[in-house]
Amino acid sequence: MMPLFQLTRSSMIWLLVSILMVMAPYITVVPSWLFLLALLTIGWRLMVHSGRWSFPHWSVRLALMLLVLIGLIAELRQNTMMVVTVGLLISAFLLKLTEMYRRRDALVVIYAAFLLIVCSFLFDQSIPMALYAVGSLIVVTASLNTVFRSQQNNDIWRPLKRSAVLYLQALPMMLILFLIFPRIGPLWQVDMNAGQSFTGLSDSMSPGDVSQLTRSADIAFRVRFDEPLPAEKLRYWRGLTYDQFDGRRWRRSDRPREADRQRSLMPQYQGVEGPSTNVESFSYLLTMEASGQRWRYGLDVPVNYPGKFRQLDDLTLQAGQRLMQRQQYRLMSRVGPIPETLSAKDVARYLQLPAQGNAQSRELALTWAAQYSEAKDVSAQMLRFFATDFRYTLEPPLLGQTDAIDQFLFQTQRGFCGHFASAGVMLLRAAGIPARVVGGYLGGELNPLDGALTVRQYEAHAWLEYWDKSDASWHRLDPTAVVAPSRLAQSAAQLFSTEPTFLADAMLMRNGFLSDSLLKQIRLRYEAINYDWHRWVLNFHERQSGFLQQLLGDISVLKILLLIMFPGALVLSWVAFSLLRHRGARKDKLLEALEQLDKRLITANLQRRQGEAMRSFFARLTPALPALASEFEILSRCYEQICYAQDADPELRRQFKASIDRCCERLPKLHPVEAGAQGVTDGT
């Protein structure tokens, strides 16, 4: 017999299954060569278990460890410290397989597996990931169960059943603790994704950058309004304001100032909504995906925002930290002209142009300035110019390094929103009108199931704002509205559906989940569930105090303790009752089946005698009940194999029980042979 500390076959199977399940979520996170290490270590351990290979020499294990360390140090150039740290944990987890022989070695692997399941939530917090983690926990716990089982107890599936029952029993207490137990902030902050590439706007923009985002269907943010949604033509989601131009690229000012708080007190900004002011307000909850940047998105101009945010003088909403994980925040925005009195320094900032270049564009703008004295008239003339022969496309011709605006306005005349916004701001500035480029998103897909708007990367958009000195206000102007009016009336998905580059990086979305009625309904249903998951589960700590106040009234330490202790006492009472109910030793299933047979044999005085061997018992029954001789032979053989074979097949127990049932069914119809029965009765 194998020593008790050696791993059994079922333990090895569950350990390897646990390793594969635990590593699966990290396929897109850790370096790919770690999975080659996984194949090497798992394969080697299987060969050792089969007796074909021996455990690697200590020098081989040392060499593998050094190679892994060198590889992880090299990965620091491309990945974050967190990814490398998780890679180090996975490496130790795998290398332990090359020396895993005893129970204590297996326990180290299992405990590391539990830790890796928790770490997977650092990179993915979706519903599928949560369900997969629960399944992984059940499998790893089943593996832990097999490590402490005897060599003879080799039923492979029973540990999995026990593990599943264990987690079902723990579910009520888990829900209670989730709802009641207060969240404790982390002792330190970890920058999870520093250096990681994100899809979205950047702090600089050239005319072709925005069109590249139409290749992606990634979600930028989700919004749920407190009142009816704004009209489609008003769904301009501000991200960044670009005011510095080098002739080709637009950038933000190096040191934008925080907005003047007094501006929010101006009558029009704070005043009554209506036709006279042309101002509308909207209150909404926005859930923004990780962007790796400090700015936050909001509808047009946010006027009420969380205290941890600040609004810069260019109306960019900015937080103190880069957004490395999904964040939810509430805003109130005003849609309409933006009153602001510009200083001479501000005017110069919004009139900045390179000293030279794009001569034709400058000349055209000066012609308009000579014809019209009002900013609104110049802007109207510019829109009429764009409405002539210009075309809106995702694949505009490449522009040269110099005089790119001239080339676009007078030669190619084909571009995306970034081209029109960039050229429009330059024309207005050349005409002496302060203007700036605004980058963000336009539109949003309404999910009728939950009333939320989903804004995706392919809805990225650029427009411009110009300052009119007559009313000292900024006015939004979107040249796309005259070049491609359908862009404001239709969704980006409808408008670009025939463009070959649209959703080129998300072909599954383009070829079914975007337009097919059935697949689209499935997607909308999942997105609605996922939105509520992130809103109510992942961000529950933000509304926990309100929930407890509704439940308890005035919150106190005593009430919290009682609320935790009462359901805890119920759970523990149920556990105690279950243990006491099964306090006595459970009968073996084989003996229970034999007692069932004995009850049927008592009437003929053929029951099993005290201390009688099983083979002798069935041999004695055969002449008395010859019609059941074949069944008695099956019972005798199965019993001996179950009791004495080291790796008894679980199927034998089912055969034994089935044979007992057949005997019991046929016994009432049979009568013992007279001679045999008489001999048994006389004890001869």
Give the active site residues.
417, 461, 478
* 267: phi then psi, degrees, rounded to nearest 5: -55, -45
DSSP 416-465: -HHHHHHHHHHHHHHTT--EEEEEEEE--EEETTTTEEEEEGGGEEEEEE
Cβ atoms of 298 and 292 closer than 8 Å: no
Non-local CB neighbours of 650 within 8 Å, separated by 6+ positions: 155
CA atoms within 13 A on the CB side of 161: 4
203: burial class by Cβ within 10 Å (0-12, 13-18, 19+)? middle
Cβ atoms of 642 and 652 closer than 8 Å: yes
The C-alpha atoms of residue 409 and residue 309 are separated, in whole angstroms, by 39
- Percent helix, strand, coil in the chain, to 5, is 55, 15, 35
DSSP label at 540? G
**298: helix, coil or strand?**
strand
The C-alpha atoms of residue 350 and residue 466 are separated, in whole angstroms, by 9
Rg, C-alpha atoms of the chain: 37
Q: How far is CA 11 from CA 99, 100, 144, 391, 429, in A?
A: 15, 12, 8, 67, 74
The C-alpha atoms of residue 381 and residue 472 are separated, in whole angstroms, by 21
Non-local CB neighbours of 344 within 8 Å, separated by 6+ positions: none
439: nearest Cα among 453, 425, 454:
425
Non-local CB neighbours of 435 within 8 Å, separated by 6+ positions: 350, 424, 425, 428, 429, 464, 465, 466, 467
Longest dimension (CA), the chain: 134
**CA 470 to chain CA mean position, Å:** 50
DSSP 567-586: HHHHHHHHHHHHHHHT-SPP
DSSP label at 258? B
Which residue type sits at 129? M
The C-alpha atoms of residue 541 and residue 544 are separated, in whole angstroms, by 5
Non-local CB neighbours of 623 within 8 Å, separated by 6+ positions: 673, 676
Cβ atoms of 157 and 139 closer than 8 Å: no
In which residue are the tokens 């053989």 written?
A: 637
**223: helix, coil or strand?**
strand
Cβ atoms of 315 and 242 closer than 8 Å: no
DSSP label at 64? H
Q: How far is CA 310 from CA 200, 261, 289, in A?
A: 21, 10, 19
The C-alpha atoms of residue 671 and residue 652 are separated, in whole angstroms, by 29
158: nearest Cα among 13, 21, 50, 46:
13
